[in-house]
Structure 1
Amino acid sequence: MAQLLIELFCEEIPARMQARAEEDLARLMGEAFKAAGLGVDALTTFSGPRRIGLVAEGVPARTADVREERKGPRVGSPEQAVQGFLRGAGLESLDQCRIDNTPKGDFYVAVIEKPGRDAGAVIAEALEAAIRNFPWPKSMKFGEGDKAQRWVRPLHRIICLLDGKTVPVSVFGIEASNLTEGHRIHSKGERVFAVKDYADYAARLRDNGVVLTRAERSAIILEGAKRVCAQAGLELIEDEGLLAEVTGLAEWPVAVLGEIDPAFLDLPAEVIALTMKVHQKYFAVRDPKTGKIAPKFVKIANQDATDGGKAIAHGAARVVSARLSDARHFWDLDRKRGLEAMAGELSKVTFHEKLGTLADKVERVAALARELAPAVGADPELAYRAAKLAKADLVSQMVYEFPELQGVMGRYYALAAGEPAEIADAIRDHYKPQGPSDAVPTAPVSAAVALADKLDTLVGFWAIDEKPTGSKDPFALRRAALGVIRILEAGGYRLPLLQAVSDVKSIEQMLKAVRSDRGAMVAQIERARDLLSFFADRLKVHLRDEGIRHDVIDAVFARNDDDLVRVTNKSRALQAFLETEDGSTLLAAYKRVQNILSAEEKKGFNSVAYASEILREIPDPDDNLSWSNEALDAALLAAIAKTANTPQENTLVSEIQTAEADAAKALEAENFEGAMRALATLRAPVDAFFEAVTVNADDPMLRRNRLVLLSRIRAAVQAVADFDRLEG
């Protein structure tokens, strides 16, 4: 078994593309090896500013010989079928086939023998195909003729070593070799040098100023940045995205502490940090004593500095000052214009061609936020005002420059204009949560506006039939639905979703749909149900990490409950209950009852019609249709009990009455586990009932009454959840 080393050396690869390039290289080569039957023990990748590559261990010298038998058409088949079979098998004539005699007739069988191939030939083909078809997000064209390249940046050198020997590969006119190149500044001696294998390659690159793997460079950067901050009595503001980016910018990363003009500290901290991150790839720093941003930054240089980094820090500070001066200009312009004036310009910005402008959306969201406010404990007028201003900063100079600051700048501008803190915070937080790790808005006004914004988006895109399909979700509707779920759950807000969806104003009028009022109403109901189903799917994703089964959520949602907090609590309770002995008992009893009822319903049994028939037989001068549901239920069971001819039947009637009453009280109190425990007590009397009586008795009245009795058990259980949807 041998080792394979591949390096593709080129000019600077954009940092954001490097990690994905590693994955693509591993995938392309791995798929090619598998297709060729070349197995390897392990395959790892590496990347940096000027190279991507891989090392594979346990590479065999040759692929295995392959013998395949392929059954063909029947002897005597049309010539066209025979020729198609031969082409597919790679054969020239039927003389190369044998004939197998089977009970179904005689058939041609092609025996295809493929001898193993040299590993080097397989690797050469795979590497050439991978390079020529590499899926860079953006590629550039270089050169002409046979040397024409389509690559992320000009490709200069290829290493392809198998067991220390160069594999003959030529791509874009570049011949593979054993040569690589070190750091532009820190290389010792000649910058280009030969390597023998991966261990030699990694060690010599290290000696020549290149830290090979992303993981090691990332660790060096983080440790170094924290160290220079600690030496100054400061604290690094960590940023995973920025760390990943600078990891791809430096081959020999060195952390340098630079200084900002303190005069810029009157800018919002987010503006300072983002200005340095976006334009210069510098880390912001805070004072641990005050928790506020400090007039310092950390730059990751790509070289050691003889003066301790003073010149690097000085040059970086000059660039930062220029960028922060631009930011101050935007800040001053925006505050002078004011949030109210910005809000007036939203009518010039299209939200979606079928859903109107941002001003249209703001009007809908504001109206809905006012409606939802009581449900989350918010002041309706504060929620309305916050929603009216929530999108205004989208037309600000600062957000145009830094879209990441949407909402954040709106909060600053609102406070500068004297708006209440609740409104300012809602403007900042109404976009949240924007991902699984993002915080959820919990302040009442913030929650009201965030819910309204997300529900309006969902209803709007459902109305124009722009729903997510497969992996495509261009309008982030899955994230919006999950955001609604997390907000409701975090606050424990009891919000019927169907009512909330119907409160979104002006969608139907705005679309000007050409259909009757009845058609519009039906369409709205169908859309609402479809949207509720979408929420159910998102809830499954949300609860999956807790181990809540998808079928449990389906069973609860099937009861048409649109209160997500109640659905979540009930799903958790049902999952936990099913894992207990009482849960198994209830499920077994239900399935025994349901199996009988399902069989009878196929023959025409209808529990409602049969129950009505029993009630009509009750000798009572009053019109029983005017009775309460409770009275009808009691009368129905009493009538069944009168016809019972076994004590087990009477016992079951009595136990049903008790279990139904206890379960109903527990459900009213949302004690879902208590309701299921009450129903689980029916297992013993149900088993005794089945042992003592024949449900399908010869007497039609007894048969009818016993089936209705069983239907009462099923209905009581299904009041909690649709147990038919539970798997297993």
Structure 2
Amino acid sequence: MATLLIEIQTEELPPKALENLSSAFAASLFDSLKEQGFTAEDSKVTAFGAPRRIAAEVTAISERSPDKPFRQKLVPAKIGLDADGNATAALKKKMAALGIECEPSQLAVVNDGKQDQLYYDGIKPGVLLAEGLQAALDKAVKQLPIPKVMSYQLEDGRTVEFVRPVKHLVALLDDKVVDVELFGLKAGRDTRGHRFHCKAPVEITSAESYAKEMEAAKVIPSFDERRNKMVQELKDAAKRLDAEIIMPQDLVNEVAALTEWPVVYDSSFDEEFLSVPEECLILTMQQNQKYFALRDQNGKLKNRFLLVSQIEATDGGDAIRSGNARVVRARLADAKFFYDQDKLQPLESRVSGLSNVVYHNKLGTQLERSERVRKIAQQVAKKIDADPKLADRAAMLAKADLRTLMVGEFPELQGIMGEYYAEHDKEDAKVALAIREHYQPRYAGDELPSTRESLAVALADKMETLAGLFGIGQLPTGEKDPFALRRHALGVLRMLMEKELPLSLDDLIQIAMQVEMTAPGVKDTSDELRQFFTDRLRVMLKDKGYSAHEVESVIEVRPELLSDIPKRLKAVHDFMGMPEAESLAAANKRIENILKKSSGETGSEVDAALLVEPEEKALYEAISKVEPKLGADYSAGHYDAVLKELAPLKAPVDAFFNKVMVNAEDPKLKRNRLTLLNELHKAMNKVAKLSCLAS
């Protein structure tokens, strides 16, 4: 057994795709070699990924794959053999086509359930690693998740496609070169090190020495190791500056994919730029320059930042620091110019300009959309005890920052800049905050709007999108959801549930749909939208750890307020731990089936005089005894108590079904017993539909 190394050395790879490319290449290569039988049980694969290379190391590799027994189906026995058991012309032709040479007596006869078939049992000889590796390589490069394929021409004139032009191919089994090729390049042991610190070619001695020899050439080939080293150096540098580093994971990954040998330096910008909103400065540094911004111990943005170079400067980094300071000054000057210019014009004056921004070709402009959001926000505000005037004002101004220079440059700042400009215009603090927060939650786990006015505008904004797009038939299908309708729906559900708003989902859908239908061509799709919300609700609740049965039992009773659902689910979950739960759920399902078959036969109330059997009298007494307490606890929202109070019903319910004939010959007795079961059913299903819990 030996260690295999494959490296594809290229021009600079796309940084945002590098980690995925390297891991996918290693996984595909390993799976293919394993499928061919070259690996052992303890074989391991290690992925390498740097700006100009992807590579994989696989341990415990055989130089030859094992021989494999196989069985080849030939022809039916009655066609392949004559009366004397000799091969017919049909069998000889088939065997010749497959390259099989043997006597007919050596063939196996197997009945496939219909007739006897002739099979050849043979041994497929193993192949050398070079052949198997070539097939694995060809398959791996074709399967790579390349974001955008690049075409380039080889020296022989052929045009090939890959993520970037390939410069060198290394293939070593321990210290021996494996005879494979890729994109017109024959494998060898030569590659390239750091672009600036290592000009000479690097000769890899063996597969196991690859990582060390690349590090000697100033390249850390492991993506994880390089990223970890960079992160630690960033943290150490921030600590030296007595600062907290702003280090989003996406930026960390991208910078790690841009540097072969990360070296951290600090630099600074003029304090005058701190007058610009910090979000603008941070976004400018992160997006345009890939810098890491710093805060002081009080959380205030500092006029210093960290940068990651891949050059170990001989002057200690002074030239790098000053050069980056010059570059960032120009970037920040642009941001300051945008901010200063935007403040010269009141936010309200930009609203009319939204008529020039197309929202959707069937739903009109952003101005028309804003008018619909305003109408929805006003009605929602009244329902949730928010100030309708403030909600209306915030909804009117919510999209105005789309017409600003800053948001034109950085779309990610929409809403955020609206708040700053609203504050500058002396708008009410709740209005300014609602402009920022009406986009929330932007993603799973994001914070919810903090005030009732913000919630009103956020709900209106998302519901306008959902009702409008559903109304024109733009529903998400499968994996495609270009308007993020699933995310909008989950955001609405979270706000209604987690903020415990006194507004039902049905009322919210009705408000939004009535307003949206004022737009031409929008149809009433309330039912489809309600089902869409229900499907999202199921997913959300299951993700919280509840079983499908528990979720369904609560959804089926359609609680008016979604804020009730978490309490109901917890009560159901606790109920399922009771010894009486299974029996009560099964009885509930049986009652449900009986009532379905006897639809319309129940009375308005039970007639005690028609209760004949002791068991039905006992059940009636048990229900009468527990009902007042159930009703009181249910009204108070004590759902766990309601379900626990069902426990004493188990014995009389079991006895009733064991001893009492529901479908009695006397129609009056039958009707009274069905009415008794109906009362029991209503008592048992206040919190959840217990029949959903039956196994």
TM-score, normalized by the shorter chain, greater than 0.5:
yes
CA distance in 1, matches of 2:531, 2:444: 21
Alpha-carbon shift at residue 442 of structure 1 (Å): 1.7
User: How far off is 1:235 after superposition?
Assistant: 2.6
- The answer to whether the 8 A contact 2:571-2:643 is kept is no
Choose the corresponding residue for 2:572, options 571, 574, 578. Answer: 574
**Offset, 1:336:** 1.7
Q: Which residue of 1 aligns with 2:184?
A: 173
Conserved? CA contact 2:591–2:681, under 8 Å: no
**Equivalent residue for 1:606?**
598
Pairing of 1:471-620 with structure 2 (within 5 A): 471-504=479-512, 505-512=514-521, 524=524, 527-578=525-576, 580-581=577-578, 584-592=579-587, 594-595=589-590, 598=593, 605-607=597-599, 609-612=600-603
Paired residue for 1:389, among 397, 413, 437?
Answer: 397
Does the CA-based 8 Å contact 1:586-1:682 persist in structure 2?
no
2:86 counterpart residue number: none
Match of 1:123 in 2: 133
SS in 2 for 1:509: coil
Aligned residue number for residue 83 of structure 2: none
Residue 72 and residue 670 in structure 1: after superposition, are their counterparts in 2 closer, same or farther (change >3 A)?
farther
Distance 1:601 1:446, change over 3 A: closer
Aligned residue runs from structure 1 range 633-652, under 5 A:
633=605, 637=606, 639=607, 641-652=608-619
State how far apart, in whole Å, the 2-side matches of 1:503 and 1:65 are: 71
3-state SS of the aligned residue for 2:580?
helix
Q: How many Å apart are 1:593 and its aligned residue?
A: 5.0
1:67 is aligned to 69
- Distance apart, 1:130 and its partner CA: 2.5
The reply on whether 1:140 has 2:150 as its aligned counterpart is yes
Distance in 1 separating the partners of 2:643 and 2:143: 59
1:146 touches 1:173 (CA, 8 Å); kept in 2? no
Query: How far does residue 92 in structure 1 lie from its aligned partner after superposition?
Result: 8.2
- How many residues matched? 678
> Residue 280 of structure 1 aligns with which residue?
289
Q: Any idea what SS the aligned residue of 1:300 has?
A: strand
Return the match for 1:202 from 211, 218, 227: 211
Aligned to 1:231: 240
Determine if contact 2:589/2:690 at 8 Å carries over to the other structure.
no
Distance (whole Å) between structure 1 residues aligned to residue 660 and residue 432 of structure 2: 70
Check if 1:156 corresponds to 2:164. Answer: no
Distance in 2, Cα, partners of 1:53 & 1:482: 41
Instruction: Work out the CA distance in 2 between the residues paired with 1:653 and 1:487.
Output: 42
Q: Which of residues 353, 356, 367 is equivalent to 1:345?
A: 353
Deviation at 1:367, TM superposition (A): 1.0
1:676 maps to what in 2? 643
Structure 2, unpaired ranges of 5+: 81-89
- Once residues 395 and 670 of structure 1 are traced to their aligned partners in structure 2, the CA distance between those partners, rounded to angstroms, is 48
3-state DSSP of counterpart to 2:519: helix
* Partner Cα distance (2:609, 2:163) in 1: 86
1:280 offset after TM fit, Å? Answer: 0.8
Supply the distance in 2 between the matched residues of 1:277 and 1:412 (Cα, whole angstroms). 21
Residue 67 of structure 1 and its aligned partner are, at CA, apart by: 3.4
Measure how far apart 1:382 and its partner are: 0.4
Partners of 1:678 and 1:541 lie apart in 2 by 30
**Counterpart secondary structure, 1:611:** coil
Q: Does 1:261 align with 2:261?
A: no
2:474 partner letter = E
Q: Residue type of the partner of 2:535? A: D
SS in 2 for 1:471: coil
Specify whether residues 22 and 179 from structure 1 end up closer, same or farther in structure 2 by C-alpha distance, changes over 3 A only.
Answer: same
Identity across the alignment (%): 36
Change (3 A) 1:20 1:103: closer
Q: Equivalent residue for 1:5? A: 5
Q: How does 1:29-40 map to 2 (within 5 A)?
A: 29-33=29-33, 35-39=35-39
State the one-letter code of the partner of 1:709: L
* Aligned mates of 2:395, 2:359 — CA distance in 1: 16
Task: Tell me the distance in 1 between the aligned counterparts of 2:631 and 2:437.
Answer: 40
Structure 1 position 385, deviation (Å): 0.6
Deviations 1:249-280 (A, max 9, x none): 11111111101011211111111111111111
Q: Report the alpha carbon displacement of residue 727 of structure 1 after superposing the two structures with TM.
A: 5.9
Give the superposition deviation at 1:16. 0.6
- Which letter maps to 2:229? I
Query: Kindly tell me: are residues 375 and 569 of structure 1, through their superposed partners in 2, closer, same or farther at Cα, counting changes over 3 Å?
Result: farther
Name the structure 1 match of 2:20.
20
The offset of 1:419, in angstroms, is 0.8
For residue 654 of structure 2, what is the aligned residue in structure 1?
Answer: 687
- Letter of the 2:557 counterpart: R
Instruction: Provide closer, same or farther for how the CA distance between residues 67 and 365 of structure 1 changes in structure 2, counting only shifts above 3 A.
Output: same
Which residue identity lines up with residue 488 of structure 1 in the other structure?
Answer: L
Deviation at 1:716, TM superposition (A): 2.7
Matched AA of 1:309: G
For residues 495-540 of structure 1, what are the alpha-carbon distances to aligned partners after superposition, in whole Å with 9 as ceiling and x for unaligned? 2111111112442232436xxxxxx6xxx3xx32332332233233
Return closer, same or farther for 1:675/1:149 CA change in 2, 3 Å cut-off. Answer: same
Secondary structure at 2:602's aligned position in 1?
helix
Contact kept, 8 Å, 2:190 with 2:201, in 1: the verdict is: no
Cα distance in 2, alignment partners of residues 10 and 597 from structure 1: 68
Is the CA contact (8 Å cut-off) linking 2:180 and 2:186 kept in structure 1?
A: yes
| CA distance in 2: counterparts of 1:212 and 1:101, whole angstroms | 56
Decide whether aligned partners of structure 1 residues 469 and 725 sit closer, same or farther in structure 2, where only a CA change above 3 A counts.
Answer: farther
Hey, what's the Cα distance between the residues in 2 that align with 1:93 and 1:652?
82
Report the AA paired with residue 534 of structure 1.
Answer: F
CA contact (8 A) 1:330 1:398 kept: yes
For residues 72 and 502 of structure 2, what CA distance do their matches in structure 1 show? 64
Residues 1:93 and 1:416: Cα distance change in structure 2 (over 3 Å): farther
Shift in Å at residue 155 of structure 1?
Answer: 1.0
Cα distance change of structure 1 residues 381 and 155 upon mapping to structure 2, 3 Å threshold = same
The amino acid that maps onto 1:402 is: F
User: Any conservation in 1 of the 2:585–2:693 contact (CA below 8 Å)?
Assistant: no
Q: For the Cα contact (< 8 Å) 2:160–2:183, is it kept in 1?
A: yes
Distance 1:319 1:560, change over 3 A: same
* Alignment counterpart, residue 321 of structure 1, candidates 323, 326, 329: 329
> 1:45 and 2:47 equivalent?
yes
Contact kept, 8 Å, 1:375 with 1:495, in 2: the verdict is yes
Q: 54, 57, 74: which one pairs with 1:55?
A: 57
Return the match for 1:655 from 618, 622, 630.
Answer: 622
Root mean square deviation, CA, Å: 2.9
1:610 partner SS: coil
> Letter of the aligned partner of 2:629 in structure 1?
D
Contact 1:283 1:298 in 2 (8 A): yes
**TM-score, normalised with respect to structure 2:** 0.90
Q: Deviations over 1:52-71 (max 9, x none)?
A: 11122233344343334466
Map of 1:624 onto structure 2:
none
**1:665 and 2:632 are equivalent in the alignment:** yes
The verdict on how the C-alpha distance between 1:118 and 1:442 changes in structure 2, with shifts beyond 3 A counting, is: same
| Separation of aligned partners in 2, 1:97 and 1:666 | 79
Q: Given the two structures, how large is their TM-score scaled by the length of structure 1?
A: 0.86
User: Secondary structure, in 3 states, of the residue corresponding to 1:248?
Assistant: helix
The structural deviation recorded for 1:162 is 2.4
- How far the C-alpha of 1:315 sits from its partner, in A, is 0.3
Question: Is contact 2:189-2:204 (8 Å) kept?
Answer: yes
CA distance in 2, matches of 1:653, 1:301: 81
Q: For 1:455-484, what per-residue CA distance to the aligned partner results, in whole angstroms no more than 9, with x for missing partners?
A: 111112221222222222211111111111
Q: 1:341 to 1:110 in 2, by over 3 A?
A: farther
Secondary structure of the 1:720 match is: coil
